[in-house]
Amino acid sequence: MMRWLWLAICLIWPCAGLAQGAATLVADRVTLNDEGQLVATGNIEVLYLGDRMRAQQIIYDQTTDRLQIVGPIVIQTADGTVLTADQGTLDPRLENGILQGARIVLDQQLQLVANQIDQRQGRYSQLYKSAATSCQVCGNRPPLWEIRAERVVHDQQEQLLYFTNATFRIRGVPILWLPRMRLPDPSLDRATGFLEPEQRSTTQLGTGIKIPYFVTLGDHADITITPYISPETRTLELIYRQAFVGGRIRADAAVSDDTLREDNRSYIFAEGAFDLPNDVQLRFDIEAVSDRAYLQNYGYSGKDRLDSAVSLLRVTDATLAQTRLTYYQTLRDDEANDSLPPLIADARYQSRSRPAFGGTLTFDASLDAAYRFSNTDGEDGRDVVRGGLRGEWQESWVLPEGLVANVQTDLRGDIYRVADDAAFPDTDVRVVPGVAGVLRWPLGRSGPTGIQHLVEPAISASWSEAFGGEPPNEDSTRSELDTGNLFDLSRFSGDDAVETGSQLAAGLNWSRIGRIGTTSTLSFGRVWRNEGDSEFTQSSGLEEVQSDWLVGGQLTIPGGFLLDARGLIDDNSGLNRADARMTWRNRTIALDASYIWQSADIGEDRPDTISEWTFDADFDLSAAWSLGVDARYDIAADRPVRSGIGLEWRNECVRINVSASRRFTSSDTVEPTTDYRLSGAIIGFSTGRAGGAPAGACRN
């Protein structure tokens, strides 16, 4: 018989329950029996408000307003929950009733099997003699883990599971019994309860355990409380998060009572971001610690300088306005806070326009201050305030033969106020005019095989001069030649120092694009000046009349491979600086390696040569196993700095992490430390499928 399409039960019997249009029936055959019951058979589907049920036979009894269903029964709800059963009795809305020999699959991962399931109010599912697991079940073999319970209640509205008389089993062996237990179902993103514990063992703190407890504070805030207990420490860690309509805040903190120090130890890292009216952005972060070694001892951070800052930023199409206040706290043994300086304030306004006579006109106004708490005369106590105005005009032209010319004029003026340093006047004024021209000649070629080449020689000539005093250099002590500033008027990184005199710079850039997407670039250049500049350090590449040769290159290969290298080469002493970075990323490998070489330079507080390489890699060995390694080695000192290895095993229902790390460096406050960690979690209770691997096939 042809299938009946979209036959509404409520149109056949005008009963009170069905008069509301509760459900729709689709079946191959629908008949009335002698008892006045509606009997539907063959390829049955019942639909109600996004829920769908499939069965072999349904008998509707008007007097009881019940559906008697013969299976196999499959019910799929609008949220993706799948329920199967052998037989059952339900109301037409599929909200109340009893299912026998049933199984529920939540969020395609957690399955609950029960002898009987009672449906109540369309919200509660009550399971009797139930077993819950997210592991694959193969025949009669017990799953890797399961929770057996006398009764389980699933609150679909609150997305919670309540277990009564529950036993946790591994491969069928009872491990833990609890009279009552509450767990979130997989579809719940946030729920109050315990998170996965972590076992940690270090040479300084001994073997301990962390047991984090997550507490929801409404829909937009939460706090994680983690006790950390070992023979050497009693620590309480806190993470607080809150989201607002126009922003967010997060605070990480801890307080410890340990055997490493007599006093209590603590730290706090807090950050926030808010969008204020008129497109203003507020950003802040707070970083504070009780002593220099605390962050390293507990592995909270590897920073050796802390910075707390608050800033306001507004950006439009033509303007930028920013103000910021920063406080620095040093954790280095050989550095005092006053020498940084610890308190920095700056404000800047910049606008850009295109005047009627052509080109681009940029106006810049800035104010910054460096404050030291010490009143000692000289560098350790010096306080500086600078206010400055700057105007810049640029224009470009395309000349015959494809030449590109660029002209820049620049005028800046600064006023300085200096205190606690007799080497500088209390008030000083400086005016710096400058002009520069750059000529480029891009030449392109495409060969018959599709390989493209681009060669661009460039040369620039510039002049600038400073009229007035010579203020202290607070913000330009670490400047160097690179591909980004080769043709700049001044290559100092800040505002306090400027390059003066006549300059000539030349460079060449060559790029190659292969047929299969391989690209490579090679750049080199140099600067010539009428006199050297002692404000630059020896290893900056810019101290002498002739700068070092700047050489850089990059190679990119399809498949995720990248090699980037740069160096500064002096005609007499050879290599001054060099760094290289290599990355390789694909489906199974994520590799990062870098190398740095810097010659000794007293001007940069570096009495010894630096030569180090670092290595970080992650490997997916299989669907279940992944390996991570990292290392840092000091070649100049011929000793390791740090190393670590981590191994993870995961399947569809379990994740286990084991790691070990070693920090070899030592100082007056921090000793070498070895750290071992072990953590694990069962997947399926509000943890998400992302943490598990695909389930393997069952074997006979």
Do 427 and 568 belong to one domain?
yes
Which amino acid, residue 217? L
- DSSP state letter for 695: P
Same domain, 71 and 83: yes
Q: How many residues does the chain have?
A: 700
DSSP 102-147: EEEEETTTEEEEEEEEEEETTTEEEEEEEEEESS---TTSPPSEEE
More confident residue, 529 or 7: 529
Rg (CA), the chain: 35
> Does residue 383 lie in a domain region?
no
Using the 3D structure, point to which of 608, 636, 669 is the last residue of a domain: 608
Task: Say how far apart CA 264 and CA 366 lie, in whole Å.
Answer: 43
d(CA 400, CA 62): 93
**Mean pLDDT across the chain:** 89
320-339 pLDDT per residue, tens? 999 999 999 999 888 888 77
Q: Count the alpha carbons within 13 Å of 602 in the hemisphere toward its beta carbon.
A: 0
Same domain, 139 and 235: no
Distance CA 376, CA 339 (A): 11
Q: How many alpha carbons fall within 13 Å on the CB side of residue 134? A: 26
**Torsions phi, psi of 55, nearest 5?**
-155, 175
Tokens representing 256 are 């410890």
Rounded Cα–Cα distance for residues 188 and 76 (Å): 18
Question: What is the tens place of the pLDDT at every residue in 563-574?
Answer: 999 999 998 888
Q: What is the pTM of this model?
A: 0.83
Q: Which residues of 62-85 are buried (b: 16+ CB within 10 A; e: fewer)?
A: beebbbbbebebebbbeeebebbb
What distances in angstroms separate CA 485 from CA 4, 78, 458, 646, one per listed residue? Answer: 77, 59, 13, 41
CA gap 4, 562 in Å, rounded: 62
Q: Are residues 173 and 200 in the same domain?
A: no
559 and 541 co-located in one domain: yes
- Cα 431 off chain centre by: 44
Res 692 pLDDT > 60? no
Residues 454, 446: Cα–Cα separation, whole Å: 9
Provide the number of structural domains found in the chain: 5
81 pLDDT above the threshold of 90: no
- The pLDDT > 90 percentage for the chain reads 62
On whether both 415 and 521 belong to a single domain, the answer is: yes
* pLDDT average, residue stretch 646-653: 92
**Residues 467 and 511 reside in one and the same domain:** yes
Same domain, 181 and 218: no
Q: Which domain holds residue 690?
A: 624-695
- Tokens coding 38: 């509606």
**566 and 459 belong to one structural domain:** yes
Quick one: 169 and 218 in the same domain? Answer: no
User: Among 42-46, 384-388, 460-464, 586-590, whose mean pLDDT is lowest?
Assistant: 42-46
Please state whether 205 falls in left (phi above 0), alpha (psi between -120 and 50) or beta. Answer: alpha
Tokens representing 403 are: 């030449």
> For 603-692, where are the E strands, in sequence order?
610-620, 625-634, 639-650, 654-663, 673-682
CA–CA dist 79, 125 (Å, integer) = 15
Residue 100 falls within a domain, yes or no?
no
* Angstrom distance (rounded) from CA 354 to CA 641: 53
Does 689 have pLDDT greater than 60? Answer: no
Query: 240 and 153 in one domain?
Result: no
546 located within any domain: yes
Model confidence at 407: pLDDT above 80: yes
* One domain for residues 135 and 262: no
Query: Is the distance from CB of 662 to CB of 643 less than 8 angstroms?
Result: yes
Whether 414 contacts 471, CB under 8 Å: yes
